[in-house]
Copies of this chain bind each other. A is one copy, B any other.
Amino acid sequence: MSKQTVGLSLIDIDAGASCCVPMSEQSIPAETAAVLAPAFKALGDPVRLQLMSMIASAPGGEICVCDLTPAFDLSGPTISHHLKTLREAGLVDAERRRTWVYYRARPGVMRQLATLLNIQPTTDV
């Protein structure tokens, strides 16, 4: 599978994570925003958000596409498209084993997003 080289990708972030201060403490530089926004965007669709939660909460840490698809009133290709979006956002990983494809969450990026959104109660006035 070809992955376009974007200079700094979300996958890289997962490895060398640097951007991990709550946004209430300091504002985000444009480059960081450009890298992280796609992850938020990927979670910005109800179907993908639900898919993500199903994957993240799956017992054993992984779940088969064949268990995801019937949970929605959508065609297989549409679910596949959403899963691809989550994959390209660095939020999930896919692996084929025998007949089925299994998805599992990649906690790295999600943790970064969570840290970013974490707001200190002390900030309140």
Residues of A whose CB lies within 8 Å of any CB of B are 23-30, 33-34, 36-38, 40-50, 52-54, 56-57, 60-61, 105, 107, 110-111, 113-119, 121, 123-125
Contacts and interface: CB of A to CB of B under 8 A. Distances in A.
Contacts of A54: 27
Contacts of A49: 28, 33, 36-37, 40
B37 A45 contact: yes
A117 B117 contact: yes
A39 B27 CA distance: 19
Nearest to A119: B107
Contacts of A37: 43-46, 48-49
A95 B123 CA distance: 19
Given A57-B24, A57-B26, A44 B44 contact: yes
Contact of A30 (B36, B50, B107): B50
